[in-house]
A and B are shown apart, each in its own frame.
Chain A
Amino acid sequence: MTRGNNNPNRAPLALGRDRATALLPVIMAIMSFLAVLAAGGFFAILTMTEGWSSTLTGKATVEIPYQEGMDMDRASAEVLKVLLDTPGIVTALPVGEDEIRTILSPWIGDLAQDELPLPRLIDFTIAEGQVDLAALEARLRESNAAIRITGAQAALQSLEDLARLTRTIAALAALSLIGIAALTALFATRALLAGHRRTIEILHLIGATDRYIAAAFQNVFFTRALAGALPGAALGAIILWLTAYFFERMDAALLPAPWPGFAGWLAVALMPALIALITSLTARFAVLAALRRDEE
């Protein structure tokens, strides 16, 4: 901070033990903890949705329920044409009546099957992520409102939409927390400036530059923010790890464990430095701006 003076409490600007920054490590620990959870959550959800996409097949089925008076063959042919004309759909194949009867036999038995009206089913496969199933279903319903798309891919799309929303919220939460850290630094800087106005004036008169003053603030905010952000992030990382670990042990087959992945752990590891950097830069620019304002 200051040439030839290693003890921060004997530096010309004794900011280290000021009440204005006393709580800064605690606040930054909380911010860092929450930001790590938000960032870790963001990457965990990202990893999970990637897992769904890779583990679930790209198959879905169009179901045309039986309707009195409807030409089911014609309806089936129309749906088949729409499917085959849709970019991203690789194959589309009507399910045969015998196969449908086999599918239904556990529920209705063999006896009355000939008399029962059967729905028509058309299986289709899609290239991953290339077909908007909701839009496709809406298009099919233009000719028959009863038509619906079922299957893992359709369910996956809903989950992916939900996951995307959750990711957005997690990212916004992480950014908001970093923003709050910056605002906290701004208010603490102003309080610190007010408390050290006389010292700053003396230093200026002796020949200190604004950058010298700002650097003293920047260093104090960096070290104090880092002192809080490191344990906060460590605690957040432990919580993330435990969550994924116990989730995995629950053997929940439907969803993969929420491990943040390499990018997630990297974000967690960098979070304290990021918070300390943003906090210290906020302090620096707040000091420079305040000193310029004072001059005017």
Chain B
Amino acid sequence: MENTATPLVRFERVGMRYGIGPEVLRDISFALPEGSFHFLTGSSGAGKSSLLRLLYLSARPSRGLITLFGRDLATARRQDLPMLRRRIGVVFQDYRLLDHLSARENVALPLRLTGGVEEEEIRRNVAELLDWVGLGDRKDARPPTLSGGEKQRVAIARAVIAGPRLLLADEPTGNLDEDMALKLMRLFAELNRHGTTVLVATHDRALIRRFDYPVLRLHDGALDGPFSAAEYGRAPSP
């Protein structure tokens, strides 16, 4: 599954701190080859969300080198970021849906922002995807009326609708029942088979064992791995 071409994501000795506080990420170095699938794990407060923030360009590192899609982010100008972000799909732990829009409109947002897609095609793709995640009868519901699991599925649909090159998911199955969690993981796997690079942050050891993908483990701001799922299963919890 992995290849040895230029990695899609590369971190070299990256450090990150908020303001003048201590470093929450220390000397992080790893690479995500294009078309790879990784789990990112670690206990609460280990720095998973901070690492994801660096990846979806919501924060800048305090030191080190990050390249994304072959581009050194230190040289990226503010006006370059939207084009980079459009190639990244993100499933946020807190969903980050727009409450005044329906599920259908939330999912359609990335396509509408990108432009160049016919409205009819947007409607069709959104409807198909919402049907697929089991929300065919909730298309016009607004997020405040959806359950946590339903919001999660809308967030996932929004993240994948535009066919991102990099998919980042922060605890994407945390609010889903086992069947739906497996179904969505299979969706991620399917996207991965079609070339999308996937990084899933999760605490769920059963999920990691079930899907045999390499694991990156964060502990106290430092990164270990990648481990195979079997190695990770044998490793003691930090």
Which residues does chain B contribute within 8 Å of A116, judged by CB atoms? none
Which residues does chain A contribute within 8 Å of B56, judged by CB atoms? 205
Q: Is the CB of B98 within 8 A of A204?
A: no
Determine the distance from Cα of A292 to Cα of B101 in the docked complex, in whole angstroms.
27
Interface segment among B112-120, B177-185, B229-237: the answer is B112-120
Q: Is the CB of A2 within 8 A of B100?
A: no
Determine the distance from Cα of A205 to Cα of B105 in the docked complex, in whole angstroms.
16
Residue of B nearest to A291 (CB): B78
Q: Is A207 an interface residue (CB 8 A)?
A: yes
A-side interface size class: 20 to 34
- Least CB distance, A242 to chain B, in whole angstroms: 45
Which residues does chain A contribute within 8 Å of B115, judged by CB atoms? 3
Interface secondary structure of B, over-half rule: helix
Question: Contacting B112 at CB < 8 Å: which of A5, A201, A209?
Answer: A5
Q: Is A199 an interface residue (CB 8 A)?
A: yes
Question: Contacting A4 at CB < 8 Å: which of B82, B110, B122?
Answer: B122
A265-293: which residues lie under 8 A (CB-CB) from chain B? 292
Q: Is A212 an interface residue (CB 8 A)?
A: yes
Which residues does chain A contribute within 8 Å of B108, judged by CB atoms? 4
Which residues does chain B contribute within 8 Å of A12, judged by CB atoms? 98, 101, 109, 112-113
Q: Is the CB of B105 within 8 A of A5?
A: yes
Which residues does chain B contribute within 8 Å of A160, judged by CB atoms? none
Residue of A nearest to B105 (CB): A10
Q: Mark A85-103, 1 if CB is under 8 A from B, else 0.
A: 0000000000000000000
Q: Could you say which of A199, A201, A208, A210 has the most chain B C-beta atoms within 10 Å of its C-beta?
A: A208
- Least CB distance, B166 to chain A, in whole angstroms: 13
Q: Is B147 an interface residue (CB 8 A)?
A: no
Question: Which 3 interchain pairs have the tightest Cβ spacing?
Answer: A207-B86, A4-B119, A207-B85
Using a CB–CB cutoff of 8 Å, the interface residues on chain B facing chain A are: 56-58, 78-79, 81-83, 85-86, 90, 96-98, 100-102, 105, 108-110, 112-115, 119, 122, 158
**Given contacts A205-B56, A292-B78, could you give 18 more A-B pairs where the C-beta distance is less than 8 Å?**
A4-B108, A5-B105, A10-B105, A12-B98, A12-B101, A201-B58, A202-B97, A202-B98, A203-B113, A205-B58, A205-B85, A205-B90, A205-B96, A206-B86, A206-B110, A207-B85, A210-B78, A210-B79
